[in-house]
């Protein structure tokens, strides 16, 4: 199974190749490195130079500077409609995000995650769920948290970096939402505390990095800790009705690894699906951007 975000009208992958990608976020076009794009570009270099408003110039493997080729702001906003363009009067279906040119190549959103936002929104509106609750681990700037809150769920959002939690809070306000529970914490420690408290959630998403650190310097390495974390997180699922989404972006992980991890915690009535997230280019190439697995016993 493969997922790509249909209907995200304010985002477009224009071209990818030569270890770069050319993307439109709203009205601005960004050029930045992409290690997965090992094939040739479809457009020629003159097209890339003509289209781009800004290009990211790496200084190290994880940082660099943005070189503006055309006038554009350092910060701007885009929106995503959870259910496409239908029923435009229903404003709670629109998520709004503040974007920024950061020194780490990111801009504050991972567009391929839109398919997960839509899944979360629809799943948490399932009439079988009573007083739904949702946990977002490694939550970044909060797309999944906003989708869950728009669906009416009680939402806990956790990340180890205070600045991105503040960014997520800004996105909540922009989206006309409120009352998300913000946590700056180490994911593994938090999950173990929630187990001891007897807490359960209707839905959980975890999108761990390949490498990282907690707020107090705790070390995280995906292959060393993911088995323990998945087994712990599974204990937080509401035994009645639930779903769990595991998403990873690591060059060494395949969807079969995700499938095997989730199979170990699969309950009797759960259905398991797994596959690859990608963004389709306007000019034909499909850019792979992670693998996912969904474990769910929700009907429909």
Q: 57 lies in a domain?
A: no
Residue 211 reports pLDDT greater than 70: no
Say what the pTM is.
0.93
Q: How confident is the model at residue 212 (pLDDT cuts 50, 70, 90)?
A: confident
Q: What's the pLDDT at 259?
A: 94
Average pLDDT in the 20-28 region? 97
Q: 192 lies in a domain?
A: yes
Q: 282 lies in a domain?
A: yes
Q: 103 lies in a domain?
A: no
Q: 31 lies in a domain?
A: no
Q: 123 lies in a domain?
A: yes
Q: 104 lies in a domain?
A: no
Q: What's the pLDDT at 83?
A: 77
User: 53 is written with which tokens?
Assistant: 């408003």
Listing DSSP states for the chain in one string gives -EE--TT-TTEEEEEEETTEEEEEETTEEEEEE-TT--S--SS-HHHHHHH-SEEEEESSSS-EEEEESS---SEEEEEEETTTTS-TT-GGGEEEEEEE--TTS--S--GGGHHHHHHHHHHHT-TT-SS-EEEEES-TT-HHHHHHHHTT-EEEEEES-HHHHHHHHHHHHHTT---PEEEES-HHHHHHHHHHHT--BSEEEE---SEEE-TT--EEEHHHHHHHHHHHHHTTB-SSS-EEEEEE--TT--HHHHHHHHHTT--TT-EEEEEEEEEEBTTS-EEEEEEEEEEE----
Q: What's the pLDDT at 175?
A: 97
User: 219 is written with which tokens?
Assistant: 């070390």
> Could you read off the pLDDT of 110-136 as tens digits, one per residue?
999 999 999 999 999 999 898 999 999
Average pLDDT in the 199-208 region? 96
Q: How confident is the model at residue 1 (pLDDT cuts 50, 70, 90)?
A: low
Give the C-alpha separation, 210 to 251, whole Å: 9
Cα angle value 250/162/30 (rounded, 5°): 55
Residue 272 reports pLDDT greater than 80: yes
Count of positions (residues) in the chain: 300
> Could you read off the pLDDT of 189-202 as tens digits, one per residue?
999 999 999 999 99
Full domain range(s) for residue 222? 110-296
Could you tell me the CATH number of the domain that includes residue 241?
3.40.50.150
Q: What's the pLDDT at 284?
A: 80
Q: 22 lies in a domain?
A: no
Q: What's the pLDDT at 5?
A: 77
Domain count along the chain: 1
């Amino acid at each position: 199974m493969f997922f790509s975000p249909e209907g995200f009208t304010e985002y477009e992958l224009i071209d990818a190749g030569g270890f770069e990608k050319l993307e439109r976020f709203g009205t601005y076009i960004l050029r930045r490195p992409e290690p997965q794009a090992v094939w040739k570009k479809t457009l020629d270099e003159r097209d890339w130079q003509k289209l781009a408003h800004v290009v990211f110039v790496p200084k190290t493997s994880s940082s660099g500077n943005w070189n503006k080729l055309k006038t554009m702001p350092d910060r701007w906003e885009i929106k995503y409609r959870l259910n496409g363009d239908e029923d435009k009067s229903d404003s709670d279906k629109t998520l709004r995000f503040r974007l920024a040119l950061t020194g780490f190549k990111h801009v504050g959103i991972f567009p391929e995650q839109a398919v997960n936002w839509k899944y979360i929104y629809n799943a948490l509106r399932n009439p079988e769920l009573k007083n739904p609750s949702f946990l977002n681990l490694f939550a970044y700037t909060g797309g999944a948290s906003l989708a869950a809150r728009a669906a009416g769920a009680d939402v806990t959002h956790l990340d180890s970096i205070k600045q991105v939690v503040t960014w997520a809070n800004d996105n909540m306000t922009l989206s006309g939402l409120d009352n998300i529970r913000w946590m700056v914490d180490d994911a593994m420690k938090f999950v173990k505390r929630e187990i001891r408290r007897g807490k359960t959630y209707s839905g959980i998403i975890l999108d761990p990095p390949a490498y990282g650190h907690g707020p107090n310097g705790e070390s995280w390495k995906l292959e060393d800790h993911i088995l323990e974390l998945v087994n712990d997180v599974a204990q937080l699922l509401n035994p009645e009705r639930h779903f769990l989404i595991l998403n990873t972006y690591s060059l060494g992980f395949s969807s079969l690894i995700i499938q095997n991890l989730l199979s170990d915690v699969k309950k009797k009535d759960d259905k398991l699906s797994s596959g690859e997230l990608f963004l389709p280019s306007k000019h034909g190439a499909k850019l792979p951007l992670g693998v996912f697995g969904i474990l769910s016993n929700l009907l429909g």
